Amino acid sequence: MIGCSKQLALSVVAFSGLMVSCSDSESIGSGAQSSTVDLATTTTSPSVATTTTSAVTTTSAEATTSAPSPTVVLPVPPTTTAAGACDGADGIAPGAAIGTVLRGDIDGDLLDDTVTAYSLDGTPRVHAFLATGGHSDAEVPIGFAERVSISFEDFDDALGAPTKPPVAVLAVGPTKAGTAQFTFLTLTPQYCIRPWHLDGAGMFVGRISAEGPYEGLSCETAAGNRYYALNSAEQAVPGGAWTITQTVINHDFTTVLFDPPLAPITLPDGPDVQTMYGDFYGCDTPAMFP
């Protein structure tokens, strides 16, 4: 499993192809102690650890007096969560409505893992079962359908990598006719599957729209690397030219990163504009609105 960040400066020639594709609560034992005192000895038992103190006894003709040593209380180590614990660690809950099931390497060990799209109580979810045995699960609240569709994308594919990078999961939820929402899911450093999120904010959600203004995701391999870009195309007047803007996206584990937007370009009106900039274009996932 890797987190990646790629940089790109691309130029586009109209219609010749795509520019890019790219509780730690400190439970210290309660201070309460139970003490039994008599005229001879004092025994102190702390709640966390037991320390036996030897009394120094002096004897006189009339009485015996015990002088106890100071009591030592050992702190309890803080409670911690088991390493690698994830939501959905017990597997898919009973009663789930199962959708698409994919098998591929999502953690970089070159073994096929199992990724399942399903819904539970009407909420779209994605579950990962690693070849090594770990389970994890995440809500993917996009689109209007009960379940999302899922596919694999070679987002981090790079020429010369010592081993083939893991694939990302692309989840798509349909909205109204001609539109959809999407997000990516990858693994956290703890090997828990999660949707991508904005740094310090909520879940990343992209949009596909075959209705003007167009919005889409394009993918291209260039110079041995894979690039993904968010696209938009706007038309000032019907039948007029389209202004195209693109932003290359990267990720660091499950945090989405954005390159600075590329310089806008202008293209004449034509059906190829929607094909290239209002759908999935050049990606492992096929177009939704061909």
| pLDDT tens per residue, range 116-131 | 999 999 999 999 999 9
Phi and psi at 167, nearest 5°, equal: -90, 155
Q: Are 6 and 223 in contact (CB under 8 A)?
A: no
What is the C-alpha separation between 247 and 259, in angstroms, rounded?
6
Tokens 């937007």 correspond to 261
What is the C-alpha separation between 102 and 171, in angstroms, rounded?
12
Q: Are 20 and 7 in contact (CB under 8 A)?
A: no
Tokens 């690693």 correspond to 130
Which tokens is 266 given? 């202008």
Q: Are 196 and 202 in contact (CB under 8 A)?
A: no
- Angle at Cα 166 formed by Cα 251 and Cα 11, nearest 5°? 50
Tell me the pairing of strands 214-222 and 280-281: parallel
Is the pLDDT at 207 greater than 60? The verdict is yes
What is the C-alpha separation between 1 and 191, in angstroms, rounded?
8
Residue 273, H or E segment: helix 271-277
Torsion over CA: 165, 174, 21, 221 (sign): positive
Q: Are 46 and 29 in contact (CB under 8 A)?
A: yes
Which tokens is 150 given? 């899922």
pLDDT at 22: 32
pLDDT at 45: 38
pLDDT at 83: 46
Q: Model confidence at 200, in pLDDT bands (50, 70, 90)?
A: confident
- With a CB cutoff of 8 Å and minimum separation 6, the contacts of 144 are 173, 174, 175, 176
Region 13-40: what's the mean pLDDT? Answer: 34
Mean pLDDT of the chain: 80
Region 18-31: what's the mean pLDDT? Answer: 34
pLDDT at 1: 57
Q: Are 91 and 158 in contact (CB under 8 A)?
A: no
Torsion over CA: 175, 178, 181, 186 (sign): positive
Q: Model confidence at 185, in pLDDT bands (50, 70, 90)?
A: very high
255-284: string of b/e by CB count within 10 Å (b at 16+)?
Answer: bbbebeebeebebeeeeebbbbbbbbbbbb
Which tens digit of pLDDT belongs to each residue from 235-279?
999 999 999 999 999 999 999 999 999 999 999 999 999 999 999
Q: Model confidence at 166, in pLDDT bands (50, 70, 90)?
A: very high
